[in-house]
Structure 1
Amino acid sequence: MSGVVYSVAMDLRLWCGTPSKVCFAGSVLSYDFSVNYVGPLPFVDVFLMVGGVPSGWGCRFVYGSYEVDAVRLMNKTSVNLVLMVNVPGDTAPGSYDFHVVACYDYPPYKSYLNLRATVKPIVSGLVLSCLTPAKVVEAGGTVSFDVKIKYYGVRDEFMFSVPNLPNDWSVSFYYGVDEILLVSLNNGDEVTIRVKLSIPMYARVGDYNLTLNVYSKSVSESLSLMVRVKPSSIVNRGLKVSVDYPIVDVEAGRTVYFTLTIRNIGLMDEVVYLNLTDKPSGWSTTFRVAGKVVRGLLLPAGGSVNVAFEATPSPYINIGEHRFKVQVYSEDKVILKDLTLIVNVIGSYSLSITFPEFPALYFTITSGESKSFTVTVTNTGFLNVTNVYVSVDVPSAIDWRVDVEPSKVLILKPNDKANFKVNIYVSTIVSAGDYFITVKAVSDQVSSTARDVRVSVTKPTEWGYIGFGIVLVAFVVVVIVFRRFGRR
């Protein structure tokens, strides 16, 4: 490509020493060129335009520190200008041709300067570096790392994280004095951020290997950092007490369990004691560690322990909210921690039945006769039940008849019992054999577990004699007939 294009009259000349340039998408190109006028007029006003530029590209002419769109030239003079071309970040790789147009109106005249921009494909990449990637810090202190980020690619936004940060440590990121969440980088940008780590006072002494991630939707890079935690020069003491669920609901009569986590966040071993400073009446309580009942324990610096707090109510505990105040304190009582635990006792319904006269759930009865037995119903729940009755299911409602007295008990309080007399009649046509009847207690609120009772039905003794007599008569008749007709 020629850098010089002459007009037909050769009186307006455009010159560019570098008419073809290479760049990445998202770059800004600058073309230095000159405009020279030689002609019959003492001066001309030359207007400048750009033709053939791709859609979305931005162009402007600069003279010194000013943006211009025309220049006035005296005869046999020239001026140096700069064409600034903004190449969008989404421009596809390839070569793009366009031209500068210089013209004046009288007499009408135009001169052209052909230019080219070649856009190269961008391979995105990050380079992370840190001059001091391993540092030492006291427990309870802070440590910072200056990390340099070098980026290649189209403009992108990058975030930061330390995924393997230990529990209770915190991290923040700074650019200068400002705390930041992300950085926006263009191709070739280089920026230094500060990674600040805060270490808790009770952090374990030793080495911690951490990973800094810098990432966007399209590219990411990691950098390894190391922090060595040494004991603090300031002796600190402290206990931290937490509970998994401080408020629980439980049915009356059931034991409730709380798990207390006690952590020694100081730098010295502590003997820790547990005490219940406020306990509602009707409860028995214990503290257990690994199944053992304890009142105190030795907790090393930085250590933690789970303590099970058990609370068992009396059989007649009141329904509603019950509060327990637990105190955890050091041996010298310099450190005191209070914790409130709440148990909301809710009622439950339950019925059970027993058969005092045949606990084996079996009895015999003769067909055509009646049998009476007692069913004892007990309220084994913690709330009153109403309209209690006994239900008996028999093999046949036609051949079996059941009467229960009383037919119903209006109210049965917790732990109270009621006796029901059950009378069963078995019809004479019921065959001898084993049958099952099903008995259960029913109330408005709950039913007991159904119990199956085996009933062995027998026939009366006289029916046995009658049957034997019929068989004997039939035998005699057969013998007589045989003798009479046998002689013939």
Structure 2
Amino acid sequence: MTRCSTRSMRAAGSLVLAVLLLVPVPVFAADTDSFTSNVELTCTYPGKIIEAGETVTFDLEIENNRGTDPKKIRIDTFKGEEDWKFHFYAGSYEIDRLAMKAGQSVTVTLEIDTAGDTPVDTYPVRVSIDDARLWLYITIDETHAGEMGVLVAEVVDDQGEPIEGATIKVFEENSDDFVTSVLTTSDGKVRTEIEQGDYDLVVEREGYRSTEKDEVCIKCGYTEDVGTIMLEKKTYGLLVEFRTPVVTTTSDENPVFEATITNVGKSDDIIELGCSDAPDEWYFKYKETSDGSKSISSLYIESGDTKTIYLEAIPPNSVANGQYAFSATFGSSDYLYEEPLEARISGTSNLVVFSEKYKYEITKGETVEIPVQITNNGNGDALTKVQTVVTTPDGWSVDVSPEEITSIGPGEKKTVTVTVVPPANIAASEYKITLNVVSDEEEESDDIRIIIKEQSYVGIIGILLLGVIAGGVFYFFRKHARR
């Protein structure tokens, strides 16, 4: 290559370089957003230690980098936290999604309500929103598994006065499945153990409008106080209470039921008295006194007052032993109250004690056997666990056979043998022993006289005299025969 050619090439290269330097070249800015997530999710304290059944909260810082579409916030669990409850709050509002401007930041509170029977362990929970993920950790350091929860409540009327005897019925949450019920005490309060779960409460009392309390959460080892529950009085309302709903009598007596009636309504009322579902040929009579003969058919009761009345059930003369059910009715101005009752008619048991002899004569050293006949002359119940207890003077010994009779039915007889042994050194005289026959139903006593005589020596002396006389005669004849 010639020097001229070399120079030409250098000149051409310089020209091309000059042209390139003069042509504007576009400059591209760095795309920093391509390395940033849509949402940033952080928490200063992502791990907390609590006791099973406690509630723990986490403050979540959420920053939106792009987009304004609503973003759903969700939770994922991994170790059997099915009984836990999770809630997201923004201030006082529970939320499940957010719509933020680009660059906007908010704080959301995650509330986690743990179960009382959660085992001791560490539980990871993942929070997600858009493309952001955050792991949180709850460590349970104490569990209440196997313990019962406690439900506490107070029931009052619309004047703030406690209501005694209000029924709190417990149902599975959002269900008609009945769990249990409990009555309030005289101070209107109730405290009862119940298994862990979510429940609905129904509170009722005669004369009041019932009310409900939903979403009651009971935890193992914790007391859930649902606070004060108010029941509103009805305009008309009765509280009817019988001293006992079952009365037992014999066939020769009429069952009498004692009832107290309280007007718990806001207004005075006239109560109509009656009976329903009566057995055949039975009659009923309401009275103001238990032994009175005058009957009443209605009762005037002022609001807040209580009155006591008596219901006499009158069976037919030929009534058989058995159980007879019926209902007492009380008609207020807006409702008919019915109270189920039962009259039980039983026969009578009649314990009779009989001995063939009531006086025995023996000589010192002899034993007395006394047969005792025990009879049930009744027409109803059997006599049960019949025992004979014998009371004697000091030093006497007694044996009863059999010691106990299990049962003696109506019209049945049983015999007991009482063996009495007086002491050897007893003085001759007349003595009394008492037979006391005792059963579960009744008892009866009877007295037996025992006369003890001295031993007689007349016979022995007579024999000795005869022997002496015979010996003398024998001696006399022998003596004279020799002569």
What TM-score range do you get, normalising by the shorter chain? 0.3 to 0.5
* Higher percent of residues as helix: 2
TM-score, normalization: structure 2? 0.33
